[in-house]
Structure 1
Amino acid sequence: MAPMRPGRVLWIGVRPGRREAMLPLAEAMTTPEQGLAGDRYSSRTQRTRQVTLIGAENLSAIASHLGRAEVEPALLRRNIVVAGINLLALKGHRIRLGGAVLEVTGECHPCSRMEEVLGEGGYNAVRGHGGITARIIAPGMVRLGDAVQRLDDEEGG
């Protein structure tokens, strides 16, 4: 397996309720039982989508497709924005995200709300750039600036 450089956490947000605005955070606790603390999905039993991640590079691509200078992370309703690592290359792997260990479970596809939130063409702009879903394997705190690393790349990992 080819090595990967680690990435960094740039933004963290939770969705307190359906259609409520995202709340940006400096840190968030993760647990296998509850998911991401404060997120509306935290008490759900669907554990394959406890955390959603998107790359800052994906946000730039989406903005470009829409003819915008930028797209705010909260508009896409993903929990964590990272930079410097190809999230799709992590599919099926375990990653260390700050103090937590997650398992990448799949791609995070756009929903029909993307047209409403991003305007005409929003859904197609997000296709292939929507990020990933993950479940929490081991609890831990995630903070802005924390490293994101595939566990197979760590010594002894």
Structure 2
Amino acid sequence: MGTPITLAGIAYRPIIKAAMQTKTQTMISKVAGVDGDARGKPGKRQVTVLSQMQWQQTCIELNTPLHWTVRRANLLIEGFTFDATMVGKQIKIAQLILLITGETDPCYKMDRQFQGLTKALTPDWRGGVCCTVLTDGRVKVGDLVQITS
């Protein structure tokens, strides 16, 4: 059956350009995205999701163990990697359902976090995916994650 996919982290930014804050549980809604996140307005990039395995590959390439929130994603999942075939699929965590709308393209701001990070995130969808919220839900670190068509 393989390793279960789990929610390994939750992060939000209370104001634009602020440092990411982490929490162990949160509400995620169609109206506000991750509770407390300044960028949670409805749209194709309402919630961003990062693969822990792909983040680890990035850190290995940079030869530096960076905390996942440096990427400025909202959710970190363990046991799964993203690629182009994921667009249009859904991520289900407890009652929450997210629709994957595309790749989270790394921008030049990543190099402000750590020099070389933009380039290291660029291949193989290492920057994660953008999502829109289809169904509101409360999630917590450790929840099982399902990827469905």
Q: Same fold (TM over 0.5)?
A: yes
Tell me whether 1:29 sits opposite 2:24 in the alignment: no
Tell me whether 1:93 sits opposite 2:100 in the alignment: no
Mapped contact 2:54–2:81 kept (Cα < 8 A): no
User: Does the residue aligned with 2:80 lie in a helix, a strand or coil?
Assistant: coil
Tell me whether 1:138 sits opposite 2:131 in the alignment: no
Q: Deviations over 1:81-101 (max 9, x none)?
A: 101122324321122123201
Q: How does 1:61-100 map to 2 (within 5 A)?
A: 61-68=57-64, 70-88=65-83, 89-100=85-96
Change (3 A) 1:147 1:90: farther
Q: What is residue 155 of structure 1 aligned with on the other side?
A: none
- Give the unaligned 5+ runs of structure 2: none
User: Does the residue aligned with 1:109 lie in a helix, a strand or coil?
Assistant: coil
Shift of 1:32: 1.0
Tell me whether 1:149 sits opposite 2:138 in the alignment: no
Question: After the TM superposition, which segments of 4 or more aligned residues of structure 1 sit over 3 Å from their partners?
Answer: 3-6
State the percentage of identical aligned residues. Answer: 25
Mapped contact 2:53–2:80 kept (Cα < 8 A): no
- Segment drifting more, 93-102 vs 83-92: 83-92
Number of paired residues?
146
Q: What is residue 12 of structure 2 aligned with on the other side?
A: 14
Q: Distance in 1 between matches of 2:13 and 2:2?
A: 30
Q: Distance in 1 between matches of 2:80 and 2:129?
A: 12
Q: Distance in 2 between matches of 1:4 and 1:131?
A: 21
- Give the unaligned 5+ runs of structure 1: 153-157
User: Does the residue aligned with 1:18 lie in a helix, a strand or coil?
Assistant: coil
Shift of 1:6: 4.6
TM-score (norm 1): 0.86
For the aligned residue pairs, the C-alpha RMSD in angstroms reads 1.8
Q: What is residue 104 of structure 1 aligned with on the other side?
A: 100
User: Does the residue aligned with 2:69 lie in a helix, a strand or coil?
Assistant: helix
Q: Deviations over 1:90-130 (max 9, x none)?
A: 321122123201100000011111111112x2210111310
